[in-house]
Chain A
Amino acid sequence: MIAVLALLVGVVLGIYFDPTVPSALQPYLPIAVVAALDAVFGGVRAKLDRIFDDKQFVVSFISNVLVAGLIVYLGDQLGVGGQLSTGVVVVLGVRIFGNVAAIRRHLFRA
């Protein structure tokens, strides 16, 4: 409940402040979103598995975003930014799918 409220508060804050993303950070925004989605779905699944842990969630979110951003940054420097961000999206996407499937099994028993 608190989690959903916090999420909503964040969305409202984002809409309210409407910050402009500096152009240097713009390529990392989609990657950060995917990493955040991975952390959120992982957390929801852990919650349903009854093994949710606040510290684990915080650490996994921050490290996900940082590592994903770092990989893309490194790729940009090496000239393979597009390919590396594809790799990041694939890996995180697979994890999101797996976790969503587990959540689905929990919720619908199917």
Chain B
Amino acid sequence: MTTGQGEEKRAGRVYAPDFLTELFRNPLDPGYADAAARRRDAPAPAGWRGSSARAVAAVVLAVVGFLFAVAYQETMADEPSRSQARAGLIAQIKQRESETDELSVRADRLREEVGRQRDAALSGSRAARLRNLEAGTGLGRVRGDGVVVELADAAPKDDDAVTGDSDVGPPRVYYSDLQKVANDLWATGAEAIAINGQRLTATSTIRSAGAAILVDFRPVTSPYKVTAIGPDTMRDDFEESRAAYLMRRVAETTGLSFRVRDAEDVTLPAAPEPRLRYAEPSVSPSPSPSGSAADTSTSPGPSGSGASPRPSGGVR
């Protein structure tokens, strides 16, 4: 760069038409050109002034290097703390989950203990009626024959991995699919349903939270296994239901997997005790026989297992 250009630029700078254009055209500090011009006019300062200026420049460069090192270390020190916090949170979640599992196992054990004690305390027919009610409402473990409906997300496609397109992932099972399947199972006569081992009760919810599906606020993941206990005709009836028809179509077009099979002698776990906060059991003033007549539409007794109150009792 000649000093002539430098002079031109200096003259141009005063009336610089626009700052950004000037910045792009001339990124170098104009001071360097000025200094060079001055040096050409007057001889360079010799002796201690020249060398001290050089020493100061060296010190400044050392400061710059110091700054780089400090900034680098600062950034590196920040990074692990961030990932550490993340790992800590994940560990906390896992720990709480295992705590919850442990506690629910303990609750199940205690519930069975309570049931046993109650059976011992109550007379035979009343205990049997209570057991039937529990089984029907989902608060007691049940076993029997039924069907298993299996749904699973489609396998991830290779195309998506290449393009890295995370928005258009593989087709997934929606919470509404599980809802439809569960509803049609109730409709075809199921007496107990569990999704991935989560027993459904009258207050159960199947909801989506982001990408996850929550059954009774507990996450369930693909593959989903909806197990239902019901009459022998249930499989055929379900195969003809709207949910099965829809899911078969979806499975054909998107690659989801959907399968219905018979299951012999399956055991469904008990649901956790529902915590009723607003509804209170209304104790009828009349003696228990009339209350039981209102509860169970058919004859009470050990054979009344099918008469327990169910959301879809009337559909059958």
**Which A residues have a C-beta under 8 Å from some C-beta of B?**
2-3, 5-15, 18-19, 21, 26, 29-30, 32-33, 36, 39-40, 42, 45-46, 49-62, 91, 94-99, 102
For the complex, give the distance between the alpha carbons of A75 and B29 in Å.
25
B81 on the A face (CB < 8 A): no
A97 CB → nearest B CB, Å: 7
For the complex, give the distance between the alpha carbons of A81 and B65 in Å.
26
Query: If A2-B58, A6-B61, A18-B73 touch, does A52 touch B32 (CB 8 Å cutoff)?
Result: yes
For the complex, give the distance between the alpha carbons of A56 and B20 in Å.
23
B41 on the A face (CB < 8 A): no
For the complex, give the distance between the alpha carbons of A61 and B57 in Å.
10
Set of chain A residues within 8 Å of B35, measured between Cβ atoms: 51, 53, 55-56
Q: Please state if B66 and A13 are interface contacts (CB–CB under 8 Å).
A: yes
For the complex, give the distance between the alpha carbons of A57 and B279 in Å.
79
Set of chain A residues within 8 Å of B114, measured between Cβ atoms: none
Set of chain A residues within 8 Å of B62, measured between Cβ atoms: 6-7, 9-10, 13
Q: Please state if A13 and B69 are interface contacts (CB–CB under 8 Å).
A: yes
A87 CB → nearest B CB, Å: 12
Interface residues on B, range: 35 or more
Q: Please state if A14 and B66 are interface contacts (CB–CB under 8 Å).
A: yes
B53 on the A face (CB < 8 A): yes
Question: CB < 8 Å: which of B32, B50, B64, B71 contacts A49?
Answer: B32
Query: If A10-B68, A51-B35, A55-B53 touch, does A29 touch B60 (CB 8 Å cutoff)?
Result: no
Q: How many A-B residue pairs have CB under 8 A?
A: 133
For the complex, give the distance between the alpha carbons of A95 and B33 in Å.
16
Q: Please state if B71 and A30 are interface contacts (CB–CB under 8 Å).
A: yes
Binary flags per residue of B12-42, CB closer than 8 Å to A gives 1, else 0: 0000000010011011110111111001000
Set of chain B residues within 8 Å of A62, measured between Cβ atoms: 60
Closest chain A residue to B71 by CB distance?
A33
Q: Please state if A60 and B74 are interface contacts (CB–CB under 8 Å).
A: no
Q: Please state if A98 and B28 are interface contacts (CB–CB under 8 Å).
A: yes
Question: CB < 8 Å: which of A33, A54, A59 contacts B54?
Answer: A54
For the complex, give the distance between the alpha carbons of A59 and B57 in Å.
9
A96 CB → nearest B CB, Å: 8
B293 on the A face (CB < 8 A): no
Q: Please state if B28 and A42 are interface contacts (CB–CB under 8 Å).
A: yes
B107 on the A face (CB < 8 A): no
Closest chain A residue to B54 by CB distance?
A54
For the complex, give the distance between the alpha carbons of A21 and B73 in Å.
10
7 contacts between A and B (CB under 8 A): A10-B66, A14-B69, A42-B29, A49-B28, A56-B34, A61-B60, A61-B64
Closest chain A residue to B32 by CB distance?
A46
A62 CB → nearest B CB, Å: 8
Closest chain B residue to A60 by CB distance?
B29
B91 on the A face (CB < 8 A): no
Set of chain A residues within 8 Å of B31, measured between Cβ atoms: 53, 56, 59-60
Binary flags per residue of B88-125, CB closer than 8 Å to A gives 1, else 0: 00000000000000000000000000000000000000
Q: Please state if B27 and A53 are interface contacts (CB–CB under 8 Å).
A: no
B67 on the A face (CB < 8 A): yes
Query: If A10-B66, A21-B70 touch, does A49 touch B1 (CB 8 Å cutoff)?
Result: yes
B56 on the A face (CB < 8 A): yes
Query: If A3-B58, A7-B61, A98-B28 touch, does A53 touch B68 (CB 8 Å cutoff)?
Result: no
For the complex, give the distance between the alpha carbons of A50 and B20 in Å.
26
Q: Please state if A11 and B53 are interface contacts (CB–CB under 8 Å).
A: no
For the complex, give the distance between the alpha carbons of A98 and B20 in Å.
12
For the complex, give the distance between the alpha carbons of A15 and B70 in Å.
7
B246 on the A face (CB < 8 A): no
For the complex, give the distance between the alpha carbons of A54 and B23 in Å.
23
For the complex, give the distance between the alpha carbons of A91 and B33 in Å.
20
Closest chain B residue to A52 by CB distance?
B32
